[in-house]
Structure 1
Amino acid sequence: MTRPLPVLAACAVILTGQPAASAADLETALVERAPVAVLHVAEGVVEAVNSATLAAQVQGRIVDVRADAGDAVKSGQVLMRIDASEANQAVAGAAASVAQAQATYTNAQAQWARNVALRDKGFVSQAVVDQSLAAMRAAEAGLKAARAGRGQAVTVRDFTTIVAPLAGVVAERHAEAGEMAQPGRPLLTLYDPARLRVVAQLPQSVAQGVQGTSLAADIMLSGRDAPLAAEAVMLVPSADPRTHTMEVRASLPATVTGVVPGQFARLVLRVGSAPRLTVPAAAVLRRGEVTAVYVQTEAGFRLRQIRPGQALPDGRIEILAGLNVGDRVALDPVRASLSRQQNASPQ
């Protein structure tokens, strides 16, 4: 019965049609240390930079609902109306008070003018003129107060019409037509989908190391294979006294679609750099669960299993275990496996 090949030896099986190559013909690369970005992964949530929860400012029954969750709205668009019957009566009463105050002021003006003329002719004293002047000024003050009351009544009436303070999307509707609105009760929640960010918490040990530096981060969203580069990253200059963490905010690109507030996200922050062993990505051979390279030795190329780290932007791969500084690896592992000096057993 034939014994099965070891896993690493199976990686060195000669492929049909591949020409054999000597060790001297194969191009190699030196295993060396290079600065590698130190990453910190923080779990966060997507939130809108601009959002608003609209609440009732007057009491009344909701008589008209013009927006629902998911609707796109424009700034100033009417979203909901509250019964304005009582507010309209208040405005009418305030208008009547203004008319009454205006008549009183007009009469006081005329009375003051008559008394001035009579004083000039010697028929009344200066005290009478002063009295009429005081009455005129009191009537003028009463008119201003009445006009202010009318303005207040109009403002309260305007509160019965709920309008969008920003252009965006309705995230949630908290009330239905026919329900009673109370001052402070939430009615609608809006957000601007063009400006979203990921908010996460950093341990103080990590946050203190990046304070005062220019931060960069990648954003990983569920359902997307490729990470997104954050447009801007900001560390909030305050710490939570309960969790001893600091908040970091990473802005999503404006071109991103299909992302909503409350969605889970991961923030991959570059918090510094450190020297790490690296090799070119072309030198790494992957066969199933095995990751290895062909290391050049005096006896030829030997297959050595490695533990890779992160892929680097310059086309190299970080090596966590399996290699040493100064080792040379074959840049074409397939041809290295076909060389007559190959030895597929690990060192």
Structure 2
Amino acid sequence: MKTPACSLARLSARPCRSFAALFGLLLAASPLAGADDALPTWRVAPRPVAVGVAAEAVVEAVTQATVAAQVAGRVVEVRVDAGQAVQRGQVLMRIDAREAAEAAQAAASRLAVARTEYERSGRLRAQNFISQAALDRVRAEFDSAQAEAAQSGVGLGHATVTAPIPGLVARRHAELGEMASPGRPLLSLYDPAGLRVVAAVPQQRLAEVRAARAAVVEFPELGRRVEAPSFVVLPGADAATHVSQVRVNLPAGEGVAPGMAARVTFVAGDAERLAVPAAALVRRGELTAVYVVDPAHSAPVLRRVRVGETFADGSTAGGLVEILAGLVVGERIALDPAQATIRRRSVR
């Protein structure tokens, strides 16, 4: 091979030959050399898998709370942000309570007027100058003013927003300077010490779930799987979708957060299935295929396969996928489709 570096007249023949030899060694050692023994492969054979009911799920906190404003006013102080740990009773926000104070003062004034009117009407009724119905109307107005004053006083005390539970701030719904109104969410909190996943299971498979001996939870984003300590099937079902919710408790310290996707397998027993790692599959639209590594061919051959269930497996990222058609026992497939694609192109 004539290299550009050796085309220069100033280079001697010996350095040129040395460079060419080194280039040849690097090419032979690279994945482009066509040696299939360097390509990681998987032997197709029946594998022991845990069979049962699989369902998609989402992580949620057992203890969570949305802190809402109970008084109208502008947010004048924000002390926490998303991801920050807080303790029960810790101050999170402060709301300018001047409007609430004015409302409380107005309510107190109305209460004073209503009390005076009620006392006067009581004296008039004692002298039979007004009817009992008239006194009842005044009494109702007094009770209403009293309740309004009490409520405004309570709202005034909620100008300082505190954490109702210990945990982490999941989300901040209000920013400094924004207006808060009664009922508007300000912060969302959750306790990371207690997490679970909630799975939706079709009604016709609930009996299998109840009889399951264990529940295995897989987190595709993390490439991890854990065995759940317990699970419970919630009573009732959705009238539109005919699915029921199953709560699966997670062990502590798994490093997951509410909202993450998960996959739960309710294990009924063990069986052998012809299965390959999910990472070995090539998916292009509706086509699912694998690269078959055959010594009779100089390059991996892309072959279409028909797949079935996905089984949780701790040794392979993404689990094992059942092969229903397209492969036979004893064949070898490439574990890395990207590397197999490079190998295939290099020998064309």
Q: Could you say which TM-score interval applies, normalised by the shorter chain?
A: 0.5 to 0.7
Which residues in structure 2 correspond to 1:37-186 (within 5 Å)? 37-110=50-123, 115=127, 129=128, 131=130, 139-182=138-181, 184-186=183-185
Q: What letter is aligned with 1:263?
A: M
Please state whether the residue corresponding to 1:165 is helix, strand or coil: coil
Q: Match for residue 258 of structure 2?
A: 261
Q: Match for residue 306 of structure 2?
A: none
Which residues in structure 2 correspond to 1:172-321 (within 5 Å)? 172-182=171-181, 184-202=183-201, 207-213=205-211, 216-221=214-219, 227-237=225-235, 246-253=244-251, 255-272=252-269
Please state whether the residue corresponding to 1:194 is helix, strand or coil: coil
Which one has a bigger Cα radius of gyration?
1
**Structure ranking higher on relative contact order (CA contacts 8 Å, 6+ apart):** 1
Aligned residues: 237
Alpha-carbon deviation of 1:211? 4.9
Please state whether the residue corresponding to 1:131 is helix, strand or coil: coil
2: distance between equivalents of 1:232 and 1:140? 57
How far does the alpha carbon of each residue in 1:205-263 deviate from its partner, in whole angstroms, 9 at most, with x for none? 6x24515435521223468787432121233455567766544321012x325322123
1: distance between equivalents of 2:270 and 2:202? 18
Is the CA contact 1:46–1:197 (under 8 Å) kept in the aligned structure 2?
yes
Please state whether the residue corresponding to 2:147 is helix, strand or coil: helix
2: distance between equivalents of 1:93 and 1:203? 57
Q: What letter is aligned with 2:247?
A: R
Structure 1: give runs of 5+ residues left out of the alignment.
1-6, 8-34, 116-128, 278-308, 312-319, 324-347
Is the CA contact 1:108–1:132 (under 8 Å) kept in the aligned structure 2?
no
Is the CA contact 2:209–2:266 (under 8 Å) kept in the aligned structure 1?
no
1: distance between equivalents of 2:177 and 2:66? 20
RMSD of the alignment, in Å? Answer: 4.1
Is the CA contact 1:215–1:234 (under 8 Å) kept in the aligned structure 2?
no
Is the CA contact 1:236–1:248 (under 8 Å) kept in the aligned structure 2?
yes
How far does the alpha carbon of each residue in 1:166-213 deviate from its partner, in whole angstroms, 9 at most, with x for none? 2221111122111223455432111121210123344566x2451543
Q: What letter is aligned with 1:93?
A: A
How far does the alpha carbon of each residue in 1:123-168 deviate from its partner, in whole angstroms, 9 at most, with x for none? xxxxxx3638776655544432321121122234345443333222
Q: What letter is aligned with 2:229?
A: E
Structure 2: give runs of 5+ residues left out of the alignment.
1-36, 38-47, 274-310, 314-322, 331-348
Is the CA contact 2:212–2:267 (under 8 Å) kept in the aligned structure 1?
no
- Percent identity of the aligned residues? 44
Seen in structure 2, the aligned counterparts of structure 1 residues 107 and 194 have a Cα distance that, compared at 3 Å, is same
Q: TM-score, normalised by structure 1?
A: 0.54
1: distance between equivalents of 2:131 and 2:203? 74
